Amino acid sequence: MLARCFPAPLAALGLILLGGAALSAAQAETSPVLTVNGLGRGLVELGGPWEFHLGDDPGWADPKLNDTPGQSGWETISADEPWGAQRHYAYSGFAWYRRHIDFTPVPGVQQNIALLVPDTGDPYEVYWNGVLVGGYGKLPPHPYQNFRAPPHSWGLGMAGSGVLAFRFWNAPYRFTEEGELGGFYSTPLAGTSDAVTAKLGDYDHVWLRGRQYYFDTNLLFGLISVLSLIAWLRDRRQMLLLWVSLFALSQPLHVALFNAHIPFSFGFAYGFDKVASAFKDISLWYLLLYVLKLDQHPRLRRWTFVLACVSAACGLLGWFVTAADWSGPHAGFYQFAEGALVFPASLIEVYPLVLIPFALKKRLGTASWLVAISAALLEMLGVAQISSIQGIRFTHWTFYDIIEAHVYTLNGNYFDAQNIATALLLVSILYAVYSYSGEQNERQRAMEREFENARAVQQVLVPQANPEVPGFAIESVYKPAGEVGGDFFQILPARDGGVLAVIGDVSGKGMPAAMTVSLLVGTVRTLAHYTEEPGEILVAMNQRMLARSQGGFTTCLVVRAAKDGTLTAASAGHLAPYLDGAEVELEGGLPLGLAAGTRYRESIFQIKPGQQLTMVTDGVAEARGKDGELFGFERTREMSGRSAERIAAAAQAFGQDDDITVLTLTRLTAGQHSSMGLGTPAVARG
């Protein structure tokens, strides 16, 4: 009815409405175009609103696609921060970015356009006008990504118009990750290939300059680790050095995983860091155990071992969970398992606070307390940091930001609470090493003084000249393997005009053996005033050894030679002597110092004029060549008829491995004198 009454006005209104709808539809089908004019040497940020869509469809790379915001799920989003920090908190999965760009060429200049993508944590693919031009990592079904990729560049070809599309995949969130992740971390850049290459160099320079202090500090930790390990290998009893080495190694290990641009996969780096963190905690606990001198506390040692096993188990299981494929249907289980493992691992990290009170009553030096306190402080900061980010998507705690806050910046290097605590620990360890070196040097000097004194005592005890004994020529050679030896011998004139010869070998080396030698030589000299019977001398020496040997033993051979050539000998487990090139059979006996009430039977035999009796210690037969071959008893027997000097020299040249002592007693023929060239100096040093 109204249409009939007002046909012309209604028709005009209809045309206006239809025209407006058509204009709106035309505008809705057009996305904003970023125009880049006259690219020179600089770079242009591809900022502004980007078209964004959650999910995945390979067709979204098509430049003809209608990506109008508000249509088919498309929306606009900024590229200067992740999508999780905008409207899609804690979203994981696929998402696409698109941007219509017109690279207007400079008239008369052929320009190759390149794209620079700053660092990002997610794998992605890059499409230019529907063609794949590059990407980082691998997308599902077999995803692969580095922990944090450095900036990458991709060529787009000649300047012109087109659609730039990014296909991102954000892995399911770890228990320690906040929900503000995904996609771009900062705005992509575009420019000529030369400009992009120069910018990549600038990124590297800034990255290295900002980590000078960090890298230098960890280089020192690595050096401390190597030097401590070498020192421990030289003396395996110094367990503190081993744990210092392992703890210092954990610092550069973390750098290699996350801050050296080594292309480790995210799963490997993140998972192995759990093992490395457990390794760091365990080495710190044992370091404190030794620094605080609690290593002899049985309960603390037991608890340290138990907690070390728990920490190692949590670390290994955490690595297994993290290395699993989180792109599949079991991602939720892995998220739960990771969170469940973090709780006990974080709880036991406060163990240093339990150890320190036990050491308060001990007398510890400044260096020990500095290392203990600084190491515990660094550990507690780590505990606070890790604890504050557990389940941060749900707690929204800000304590982590406080710990990570930069206290100050120097030449591009930032310093936060952990950096400062790390520096304090480094200084403490260096001071402790310096103090330890000073103490070791003082101990070394004290030991050298003790060795000098022991050597002086031994020089007095070892005969410097052989006595003149009518009817006999005596030769002796003594070549200790070290500063002080464990061999001993004595040549004493007998009351009937004969000679009493004693040779022996004390078990062990160094100062304990030297002290036992002093004891036995004094005993022999005292006993010679009361008895010259070899068996009785050995019985008395055995009693003295039982009272002072502290578990050691001594082999000994005592020979009394009468003027008429009668030899009376008794052996306490010593090597048999050689007479004229043949081994003499003696009654055996236990070495000195093993059993009370031991009796030593005497053997009697004759030495004829011109014959030689040779007595040696086992350093002769046990001389060892470079190939491991022993000098042996057969060679010793074959050489037994030669002079003491030649026997000792042959064994030493073969490869001295122990003290070498050789005594020879030659019965002279009528008319010969003991001074006719058969005597030599008593001591010859090797």
Confidence of residue 601 (pLDDT cuts 50, 70, 90): very high
Q: Is it the case that residue 163 has pLDDT exceeding 70?
A: yes
Q: Is it the case that residue 510 has pLDDT exceeding 90?
A: no
pLDDT in the model for residue 677 = 37
Q: Is it the case that residue 685 has pLDDT exceeding 60?
A: no
More confident position, 368 or 601: 601
Tokens for 162, please give them. 């087109």
Cβ(33)–Cβ(102) under 8 Å?
A: yes
Window from 21-30, 32-41, 383-392, 449-458 with minimum mean pLDDT: 21-30
Cβ(595)–Cβ(652) under 8 Å?
A: no
Cβ(190)–Cβ(116) under 8 Å?
A: yes
More confident position, 403 or 574: 574
Query: Of 509, 627, 628, 646, whose CA–CA distance to 636 is shortest?
Result: 646
What kind of fold does domain 31-206 have according to CATH? Jelly Rolls (2.60.120)
Window from 56-70, 508-522, 611-625 with minimum mean pLDDT: 508-522
pLDDT in the model for residue 125 = 95
- For the segment 547-567, the average pLDDT, to the nearest whole number, is 85
Confidence of residue 420 (pLDDT cuts 50, 70, 90): confident
pLDDT digits (tens, 9 = 90+) for 285-339: 898 888 888 888 889 999 999 999 999 998 899 888 887 777 777 777 877 887 7
Pairing of strands 189-192, 112-117: antiparallel
Cβ neighbours of residue 113 closer than 8 Å, sequence gap 6 or more: 39, 103, 155, 156, 157, 158, 159, 190, 191, 192, 193
pLDDT in the model for residue 575 = 92
Burial (0-12, 13-18, 19+ Cβ within 10 Å), 491 = buried
Q: Is it the case that residue 398 has pLDDT exceeding 80?
A: no
- For the segment 581-590, the average pLDDT, to the nearest whole number, is 89
pLDDT digits (tens, 9 = 90+) for 364-393: 778 888 888 888 888 788 777 776 766 666
Q: Is it the case that residue 554 has pLDDT exceeding 60?
A: yes
pLDDT in the model for residue 395 = 64
Window from 43-47, 81-85, 145-149, 551-555 with minimum mean pLDDT: 145-149
% pLDDT > 90, the chain: 29
- For the segment 132-148, the average pLDDT, to the nearest whole number, is 84
Cβ(372)–Cβ(358) under 8 Å?
A: no
Cα–Cα distance, 114 to 117 (Å, whole number): 10
Cα–Cα distance, 76 to 50 (Å, whole number): 5
Confidence of residue 583 (pLDDT cuts 50, 70, 90): very high
- CATH placement of domain 462-667: 3.60.40.10
Name the β-bridge partners of 502.
490, 558
Tokens for 89, please give them. 């908190």
Cα–Cα distance, 314 to 346 (Å, whole number): 10
% pLDDT > 70, the chain: 84
pLDDT digits (tens, 9 = 90+) for 50-81: 999 999 999 999 999 999 998 889 999 999 99
DSSP state of 230: H
Distances (CA, A) of 254 to 215, 258, 513: 11, 6, 49
Query: Of 510, 399, 383, 377, whose CA–CA distance to 455 is shortest?
Result: 510
pLDDT in the model for residue 147 = 66
Whose tokens are 């390149």? That residue is 114
Cα–Cα distance, 487 to 521 (Å, whole number): 10
pLDDT in the model for residue 348 = 85
Please give the single-letter amino acid code of residue 631. F
pLDDT in the model for residue 393 = 62
More confident position, 189 or 515: 189
More confident position, 246 or 8: 246
Cα–Cα distance, 224 to 280 (Å, whole number): 15
Confidence of residue 600 (pLDDT cuts 50, 70, 90): very high
Cα–Cα distance, 76 to 63 (Å, whole number): 17
- For the segment 172-187, the average pLDDT, to the nearest whole number, is 85
pLDDT in the model for residue 406 = 66
Confidence of residue 109 (pLDDT cuts 50, 70, 90): low
pLDDT in the model for residue 464 = 63
Q: Is it the case that residue 156 has pLDDT exceeding 80?
A: yes
∠ CA 211-214-216, rounded to 5°: 105
pLDDT in the model for residue 463 = 67
Cβ neighbours of residue 440 closer than 8 Å, sequence gap 6 or more: none
Cβ(682)–Cβ(644) under 8 Å?
A: no
Cβ(269)–Cβ(258) under 8 Å?
A: yes
Helices (H), 359-509: 366-388, 392-395, 399-404, 417-461
Cβ neighbours of residue 27 closer than 8 Å, sequence gap 6 or more: none
Window from 66-75, 345-354, 574-583, 674-683 with minimum mean pLDDT: 674-683
Tokens for 297, please give them. 């506390």
Query: Of 508, 507, 506, whose CA–CA distance to 461 is shortest?
Result: 506
The CATH number of 209-439, from 1.20.120, 1.10.10, 1.20.1070, 1.10.287, is 1.20.1070
Q: Is it the case that residue 10 has pLDDT exceeding 60?
A: no
Q: Report the mean per-residue pLDDT for the chain.
A: 81
pLDDT in the model for residue 197 = 87
pTM of whole model > 0.85? Answer: no
For the chain, which residues make up each domain, given as ranges?
A: 31-206, 209-439, 462-667
pLDDT digits (tens, 9 = 90+) for 219-266: 888 888 898 899 889 888 888 888 888 988 888 887 777 776 677 777
93-103 burial: b if 16+ Cβ within 10 Å, else e: bbbbbbbbbeb
Cα–Cα distance, 217 to 267 (Å, whole number): 27
